[in-house]
Amino acid sequence: MDMNVDGDGGPTEVIRYYELWRKIASVAGNGSYDDADWEDGRLYFRSDYSEKLRKWPEWAELGDWGAWIIAPTREGYICVLSSLKHERETQRDEDIRVMFSNFADAGKYIIMRIGDSIRTDLRLKSLFVKWDDRGLDSRILIAPASRDAIDFLNKESPTLDEGFAEKHLKSYTLENDPSSYGFALPSEQPRMEVLALSFEELTAALLDGMPESITSKVPRWRN
């Protein structure tokens, strides 16, 4: 597989748009997102982390902070993980939400999740709901996932019911750019719309309908 990690639309662009949405989240009262942070070859987007870590070093292991993680793998998949520590649990859970061929698409997925959380808090219709109602862009082709992708997900997600990935995992490929594709289970299908969008198009869609107190600041935050 030809995985795009360092080329156009790689980590630098992902972090640039994440910084914009950190600022928007702060003004919207949607929580505190930390600086993007590389650790062991994975890119972390943590929330509710750095301030408490300074006060309590054990927060890194024992705290109930959350994170989105972009994790390139030796098998060639660029996975998006959700990391959470649930109340009264001793171990953190890291779940694969989606897998992509391009770093940029993994980044757009995370931006969409952050932006949609803000939209929901502002009582705006989420992009997930809009895209679920409308259906995926016709340029996104859907097919059963490859055997390699199924085997990888089963290996990395041992809590999946036996046969679930074989039955439900699908591949999503951008028709005019076959190098841009991903794999997802049905619950994530609407979010695979990010394959058909640029960062700018996604940003415009997420900002649509937001109050002027936020949108008026976006040009300055971009600089």
For the chain, the domains span 11-222
Is the pTM above the cut of 0.85?
yes
Minimum mean pLDDT among 18-22, 28-32, 129-133, 173-177: which range? 28-32
Measured distance between the N- and C-terminal CA atoms of the chain, rounded to whole angstroms: 36
What is the Cα–Cα distance from 205 to 49, expressed in whole angstroms? 28
* Percentage of residues in the chain having pLDDT higher than 70: 84
What is the Cα–Cα distance from 83 to 44, expressed in whole angstroms? 10
Minimum mean pLDDT among 52-66, 119-133, 186-200: which range? 52-66
What is the Cα–Cα distance from 210 to 223, expressed in whole angstroms? 20
Minimum mean pLDDT among 24-33, 55-64, 68-77: which range? 55-64
Which residue has better confidence, 90 or 125? Answer: 125
- Answer whether 192's CB lies under 8 Å from 184's CB: yes
**pLDDT class of 3 with cuts at 50, 70, 90:** very low
Minimum mean pLDDT among 38-52, 73-87, 106-120: which range? 38-52
Q: What mean pLDDT do residues 82-101 have?
A: 80
Please report the pLDDT score of residue 49 as a whole number.
59
Average pLDDT taken over every residue of the chain = 89
Q: What is the pLDDT of residues 165-204, one digit of tens each?
A: 999 999 999 999 999 999 999 999 999 999 999 999 999 9
pLDDT at 86 over 90: no
Q: What is the CA radius of gyration of the chain?
A: 17
Please report the pLDDT score of residue 213 as a whole number.
93
Please report the pLDDT score of residue 4 as a whole number.
45
pLDDT at 8 over 60: no
What is the Cα–Cα distance from 203 to 21, expressed in whole angstroms? 9
